[in-house]
Amino acid sequence: MSDKFTMDEPREIGIKSRYAFWLHTSDQRLIDFTRSLLCVVAVNVTDGNRALVDIGDDYDADEAWHWIRTELEQESQVIVLDKIWEDAIMWL
């Protein structure tokens, strides 16, 4: 479970059996990442730290939701690189 975001359960939104869920985060990077996922049709940011994430009709809503959650948990992790790797990146 991440402290950088929360996700509500997916719910039918009434348009051709489409499903969507609320993503709560203050991290714009996670919202941008969510937009890049193939199973996501749209991400509509509302006021505050909330975005409505629309899952594509071609995907099972529950499976897509769990996969999105897993991807966001991995994306939200901070990776600390050893100094040698930071120096190597600087040379690129």
Euclidean distance between CA atoms 20 and 41, whole angstroms: 10
Domains and CATH numbers, the chain: 5-91 (3.30.1360)
CA angle, residues 76, 71, 86, in degrees to nearest 5: 45
Whole-number pLDDT of residue 14: 76
Residue of 49, 69, 70 whose CA lies nearest to 9 = 69
pLDDT value at 62 more than 80: yes
Euclidean distance between CA atoms 55 and 35, whole angstroms: 11
Cα torsion 75, 73, 11, 47: sign: negative
Query: Model confidence over 4-56: pLDDT tens digits?
Result: 999 999 999 876 668 999 999 999 999 999 999 999 999 999 988 999 999 99
